Amino acid sequence: MRMRFLNTEIDNLSMEEALVRIDALIRNGRYNYVVTPNVDHIVKLEKDQELREVYNNADLILVDGMPLVWISKLNKEPIKEKISGSDFFPEVCKLSSNKGYKVFLLGAAEGVADRAAKNLQVKYPKLNIVGAYSPSFGFEKKEDEVKKIIKIINEVKPDILAVGVGAPKQEKFIYNYLSDLKVPVSLGIGATIDFEAGNIKRAPRWMQKSGLEWFYRLSKEPKRMFKRYLVDDMKIISIIIKYRKKW
């Protein structure tokens, strides 16, 4: 069920329901894409017109982040479940291994996507990963590399394209090149490729469930994450106040 939430809309689904929807999107004959809003996305949506356009046209919008689940409960319209890209993508891979869907990984540093692909195929022996590519920094501004990526993906014809190049770059790339990529379902998965490659360790499960995954990542990468978590994401408070009456 799609419902209004703060400055966007979301599909209020459980993990199981989201996987059923993915399966349907793969088979609907169109090029679809998924976004997973977290606090950082919600803050960016306030001023980023292009990102708002991406969200307005998304085929599936799944909430990523316990803080957003908590905020939904304040308005007595609780979100069923947090569905982060890092939890969702392995389940999508499991679905793909069972259904015979083809997967392509795009993102992370040189060689990391290949390592993630190998690890995923160990987890799911029947999983068909038809390609993995690690783009160069700033690839989205390099016409030749964008054309190369599109060509590689077109040649192997995946059913699912997982893009992990950071938000909102990954969402904008998918949206801007959706008709060129020609993939039934594309989704942004953030640092998931790094997680699956073993390049970055995820927070313990109890921290994920308690909404403290951000604190774990901050403790591991304080210089990189300080501004996002302790400065930019604090703007969520004013956003809650702004949309409380409209919600």
Burial class of 155 by CB neighbour count within 10 A (0 to 12, 13 to 18, 19+) = exposed
Assess whether pLDDT exceeds 90 at residue 127. Answer: yes
Look at phi and psi of residue 191 and say left if phi exceeds 0, alpha if psi is from -120 to 50, else beta.
alpha
Please state the domain count of the chain: 1
pLDDT at 87: 92
Is residue 187 within 8 Å of 31, Cβ to Cβ?
no
pLDDT at 25: 98
What pTM value is reported for the model? 0.91
First and final CA of the chain: distance in angstroms? 16
- Mean pLDDT, rounded, for 176-186: 98
CB atoms within 10 A of CB 107: 27
Q: Is residue 246 part of a domain?
A: no
Q: Is residue 132 part of a domain?
A: yes
Assess whether pLDDT exceeds 70 at residue 145. Answer: yes
H or E stretch covering 168:
none
Assess whether pLDDT exceeds 80 at residue 137. Answer: yes
pLDDT at 244: 78
Q: Is residue 181 part of a domain?
A: yes
Assess whether pLDDT exceeds 60 at residue 247. Answer: no
At 245, the pLDDT band (50, 70, 90 cuts) reads low
**CA separation (Å) from 49 to 9, 25, 234?**
15, 26, 20
Q: Is residue 165 part of a domain?
A: yes
- Mean pLDDT, rounded, for 147-160: 98
- β-strands 128-133, 102-107 pairing: parallel
Assess whether pLDDT exceeds 80 at residue 210. Answer: no
Q: Is residue 114 part of a domain?
A: yes
Digit-coded pLDDT (tens) for 53-94:
999 999 999 999 899 999 998 878 899 999 988 899 999 999
Give the CATH number for residue 150: 3.40.50.2300
Asked whether the CA dihedral 5, 74, 208, 21 is positive or negative, the reply is: negative
Q: Which residue has the higher pLDDT, 59 or 220?
A: 59
- What the block records as the tokens of 182 is 């020609």
3-state secondary structure of 185: strand
Digit-coded pLDDT (tens) for 157-180:
999 999 999 999 999 999 999 999
CA 41 to chain centre: 11
| Domain, as residue range, for 42 | 2-241
Digit-coded pLDDT (tens) for 3-56:
999 999 999 999 999 999 999 999 999 999 999 999 999 999 999 999 999 999
